[in-house]
Structure 1
Amino acid sequence: MILGMAGAMMMTLASCNDMSKETEANRDEATEATADTAVAFENANSPDSAADGTIVDVDASGDADWNNLDIANTEWEMFKVGDMEVRSNDEYSVYSLEENVLFDTDKAEIRKGAEESLKEISSSIAERSKNGAVRVYGYTDARGSKGYNKQLAEKRAEAVKNWLVKNGNINASRISVHPVGEAKPVGSNETAKGRQQNRRVEIAVRNS
């Protein structure tokens, strides 16, 4: 009888121990979740991002159609510089430049070597959009704190805006800055290649 009770107690303790280990493992798994997933959870309550990182802010006219910028890549012969990605449809043109084209690591000053790319983008904007709104989105990888990444993204987007105003002959009233930070990654933050893809600036233009 006593042996039976002792055995039952040992089984109960073992079960509790297993449950404790399982709970701890689940907690560790949540803590070690990939940056992509963590960002998605944080953005659920963000005013300018949906849970999946999609930008949901609208322009001054109240249009929400800026959300749909995930359009197919475009091959334009007019571009001589091969270090940018261009996406376009009838409504928008999107020019994407990786960090290593525009900036040094953790810096927000535009590199001299980036000017050729920005000149071509400015010419394209002048041709395709006379008065359309221009949005400059700043993205980072998930290393560092989210606050730091958002701040760096804003500084870089501002730097690109200032260049376009000063050198691209685009009126400042047309351009708005949107620091996304580490939200909406295009690559995995678990790899060096993915993190490099995530560190980028995108210039989105409403065609007109």
Structure 2
Amino acid sequence: MLHDVFTPSVQHVLDIAGIFVFAISGALLAVRKNFDVFGIAVLAEVTALGGGLFRDLVIGAVPPAAFTDLGYFLTPLVAALLVFFLHPQVERTQFAVNVFDAAGLGLFCVAGTTKAYDYGLGLTASATLGLATAVGGGVLRDIVANEVPSLVRWDRDLYAVPAIVGASIVALCLRYDALNGYTTGLAIVTAFVLRLLAMRYHWRAPRAWNRRSAAAEDAA
């Protein structure tokens, strides 16, 4: 195995923190969609564990941590319970969903990249898996909630780009042996803030050059 980026305990803390904030976002979306308590728990679990499960399967960390660490499974249930009793009024939950989702995006793009690198992947592959870890749970959340995933919607603010930036910062720090607590925090905060700014100022990725069809706008 290549050199350990983080101690197992630090990696575990990053994973649990990302799982918790993603689970909060999934549970809040379930409340907004008027799901029952079981639906809230399911959406919290899917959102929290989907990206990490995909990452672990790709890098060969089997069985995945979601099935070997009870904390990984129970943390989304705790988040779902908190949301069930303490969620804000339904009409105000969308902002909270977006904020917690942005926090999870920042945490998971970093945790995913470092774990992939620690399992022997190259920098580019590690950053790619960091991206997949960050966006995978959100994609599954939207699918289960019967929504087109934000990741592929042209009319939604930048979602993958902040995760790509965060994962790239980690990859660069690994390349120059500069990954530590400060640079890790910088990568997390950068991805988080970029996502918030994208939502605030409605930054969107460009569509096809010289696009002629107006079908998407007409359908909307």
TM-score (norm 2): 0.30
Larger radius of gyration: 1
Which structure has greater strand proportion? 1
TM-score (norm 1): 0.31
